[in-house]
């Protein structure tokens, strides 16, 4: 999604969408919860030289490889996105490496998610 275009996010997510975080064991279920995670990620990476470097697509799935630099740590990751017949996102899975990247991303995401819940 293009930076700053998060206002269209709710229209892209299925009501029963699921988010799989690299930092949280349990899947996060429901449009509002998934949107919250994606908004937090957008805020976290907006000034982190985030860019997609490879993309693979089929009929109902996309695999997007990305890189970013956050707090001096180089991050590599993959977004795996599935959608339904109505072109609504049903599943969004994020994988991140190396371990140092997870150690930087987890507390930052926690802070942003807590801020989002208070609003």
**37-41 contacts at long range (C-beta below 8 A, 24 or more positions apart):** 37/92, 37/109, 37/113, 38/1, 38/6, 38/9, 38/92, 39/6, 39/9, 39/116, 40/109, 40/112, 40/113, 40/116, 41/94, 41/109
The domain segmentation of the chain, as residue ranges, is: 6-118
Banded model confidence at residue 1, pLDDT cuts 50, 70, 90 = very low
What is the spatial distance between Cα 84 and Cα 91, in angstroms, rounded to a whole number?
Answer: 9
What is the spatial distance between Cα 74 and Cα 67, in angstroms, rounded to a whole number?
Answer: 7
Residue with tokens 């802070």: 111
Q: Check residue 119 and give its pLDDT.
A: 59
Read off the pLDDT of residues 18-30 as tens digits, 9 standing for 90 and up. Answer: 999 998 889 999 9
What CATH number has the domain spanning 6-118? Answer: 3.10.450.50
Calculate mean pLDDT across residues 32-58: 94
Q: Check residue 4 and give its pLDDT.
A: 53
Calculate mean pLDDT across residues 80-90: 98
């Amino acid at each position: 999604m293009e930076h700053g275009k998060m206002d269209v996010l709710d229209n892209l997510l299925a009501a029963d969408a699921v988010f799989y975080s690299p930092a949280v064991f349990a899947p996060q279920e429901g449009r509002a919860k998934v949107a919250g995670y994606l908004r937090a990620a957008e805020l976290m990476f907006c000034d982190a030289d985030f860019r997609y470097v490879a993309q693979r697509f089929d009929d109902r799935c996309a695999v997007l490889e990305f890189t970013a630099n956050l707090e001096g740590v180089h991050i590599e990751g993959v977004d795996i996105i599935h959608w339904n017949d109505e072109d609504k996102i049903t599943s969004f899975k994020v994988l991140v490496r190396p371990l140092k990247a997870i150690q930087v991303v987890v507390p930052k995401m926690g802070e942003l998610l807590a801020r989002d819940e208070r609003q």
